[in-house]
Amino acid sequence: MAGTEMISNSESNDKFFEGVEKLIEIWFTPVKHADLRKITRQQWENVLKIVRCEIISFTQSEQVDAYVLSESSMFVSRRRWILKTCGKTTPLRCVRAVLQLAQETAGHSRVQNVFYSRREFARPTAQLKPHDNFDSEVELLDSFFGDGRAYIMGPEKDCWYLYTLLPLEGTVDALEKEQQNVGIGCESLEPDQTIEILMSDLDPAVMDIFTRAASANAAEATRASGIDKLIPGMVIDDYLFDPCGYSMNGVAKDGCYMTIHITPEPQCSYVSFESNVSAASYDALLARVLAAFRPNKFIVTVFATPNSPGADASRQLKKFSSLGTYSQKDAQHCRFSGYELHYALYCKFPS
């Protein structure tokens, strides 16, 4: 996201903001009349104080409530909660409070699955506990959910971390243990897919758009960058920070969402794009996102259940050793009990 929590770099006297986000997503088992949207805005505000961020804007569709935060975004639907925060936020510290609200206010007492993921931080030692290392994050998550599964994908400085309750296909002991802990259910999953594109070292001319010096307001930056054309049919809620930085949420009538967060400073430029839009192929969307932001490096991940259109999209990405002007540096494909995941790292060809 934005430069709202800049810290000085003593070596070069420039400014730095950690754009890399921590993303946690919790699915609750379906229960008649249970709904996470019963949790009030004030209750969410209290939760976000634990995280060290606050709500700055709100929009909704019939299926999802979308909050733009001072550090990224939060999405709340009937049985899914997503929190994505950047900077020096502490999202895992609020999980206990969310589980309590889910049970006492929303009527959800059983967790179906959890996903926690993030890219390697630019400056991991600057993070607050437990986010200063992945082992500590896993330990805290296990204290809430029992024996989860932790994975590290990609090369050391560009790796991507994942924690989930669903084991790799073929191992069922984890699911059995989970059911004995916090009432975790393993019922069949509804169709679901998510694409995330994590971009770094971006084109300075594009990043200039997301400054107050170049754009008078968020709507102007959204149009100038082409964000409004990435996924048609989205109702956009956008925010341009002062002096720079940008966040947006988009929601559609069918319950799909997209979210983009931009840290434009040249020394730490970073953009994240995420959406659960249903598609049999993400080729065109990926091309539009890359054309809009022109990163020198990016990570793409696709999660998809076997019964979703996105399952084919995940498999298709396995074929691409190059994408336009980018070459694939690393790729992994995993089949979990309930989801397929494709991870890939791309770098721009030398000019």
Query: Which residues are known catalytic residues?
Result: 72, 86, 247, 261
For residue 243, whether the previous peptide bond is cis, meaning omega lies within 30 degrees of 0, is yes
Strands (E), the chain: 7-8, 15-16, 22-28, 55-60, 64-69, 72-77, 80-85, 111-119, 149-153, 160-164, 193-202, 235-240, 246-251, 257-263, 270-275, 295-304, 322-323, 326-335, 340-348
241 is in an annotated binding site: yes
CA dist., res. 310 & res. 191, Å (int):
9
265 is in an annotated binding site: yes
Q: Is 41 left (phi over 0), alpha (psi -120 to 50) or beta?
A: alpha
Sign, Cα dihedral of 66, 57, 23, 234 = positive
CA dist., res. 2 & res. 6, Å (int):
9
Three-state DSSP class for residue 153: strand
**How does DSSP classify residue 157?**
G
Q: Which two tokens stand for residue 1?
A: 């996201």
**How does DSSP classify residue 296?**
E
Q: CA 104, 118, 257: angle at the middle one, nearest 5?
A: 65
Using CA atoms in the order 300, 304, 310, 315, what is the torsion angle rounded to 10 degrees?
A: 70
- Residues annotated within the binding site are 17, 71, 241, 265
Q: Annotated binding site for substrate, which residues?
A: 17, 71, 241, 265
